[in-house]
Structure 1
Amino acid sequence: MSNRFSVVAALMSALAAIGCALVIYGCLLEQQFQLHLLQTSGIAGLDAYLAKVASHQLSFASFMVESLSGDGYARSAFVQGVGFWLVFVLTPVAALISACALAVRNRTISRLRLVAAH
């Protein structure tokens, strides 16, 4: 039982770690894009881009939905959104499914033991 739990916990940790890495990579990608914009278009181009980003503020849930729908303002927002989906949606859902599967399995084993004892 504990061996299976440790495998499930390791898989959930890996899924969350990949999501965190994608969020961090998305932030680094955004900084690289801004630096490139500064080098090619100067301060005026960067200020125009930052004004567009500032006017495009969304709630966290809206940002996550927009990141997957393709309506995001930058590729880096897409990468960050995928990372947030992994961390805040897929990891908890996978953990819940695994916990339910383990609980059903344990209940079935307990019932089989009771039947065998009678």
Structure 2
Amino acid sequence: MSNRNHAATAASFKFVLIVAAVLALTGCVLVIFGCAFEAQSQLDLLRASGPAAVDAYLAHVDSHQLSFAAFMLESVTGHCYAYGAFLQGVGFWFVFVLSPLSVALLIAVRWLAARDRNVNLRLRFAAAH
């Protein structure tokens, strides 16, 4: 592999990492904002209705414990009981689904493009013989 091809491969690998990192970072920020929104909502409930209302809310949320995959699905469909669940769920989708999926797709596209170049190169050499 020539230095030019190696540099192009390294640059595209950096691009894949940057895309994945941006998506994962966006997801982490959304999860943190979801947690902050949940805490703020509980504080507002405490100020408006008192500790008994917060305890009732937390008991209601705790009674609907879901697996992680079910939480991710229910949060984006709007069926979770926690206030900040939507933002947290979208953040988890970014981190655990979109980021790895983008890496897989970018690597597949890069591999297919390299494969196509190799096939075209072989065909050119075959035609020259």
> What runs of 5+ residues in structure 1 fail to find an aligned partner?
none
* 1:72 counterpart = 2:112: no
Q: Which residue, out of 45, 69, 92, partners 1:61?
A: 69
Tell me by how many angstroms 1:26 deviates.
Answer: 0.5
Matched residue count: 118
1:6-65 superposed Cα distances (whole Å, 9 cap, x missing partner): 122111110110001101110111111111111111111111111111101100111111
1:4 partnered with 2:12: yes
Shift of 1:115: 2.5
**Partner residue, 1:98:** 106
Q: 1:18 aligns with which of 6, 18, 26?
A: 26
SS in 1 for 2:81: coil
Alpha carbons 2:24, 2:99 under 8 Å: kept: yes
Give the Å deviation of 1:74. 3.1
Offset of residue 106 of structure 1: 0.9
Q: Secondary structure at the match of 1:78?
A: helix
**What TM-score results when the alignment is normalised by the length of structure 1?**
0.93
The partner residue of 2:89 within 75, 81, 84 is: 81
Q: Is 2:114 aligned against 1:109? A: no
Secondary structure of the equivalent of 1:75? coil
| Separation in 2, partners of 1:39, 1:6 | 49
Structure 1 runs of 4+ with >4 Å offset: none
**What amino acid maps onto 1:13 in structure 2?**
A
Q: Select the structure of larger CA radius of gyration.
A: 2
Please report the RMSD computed on the Cα atoms of aligned residues, expressed in angstroms: 1.2
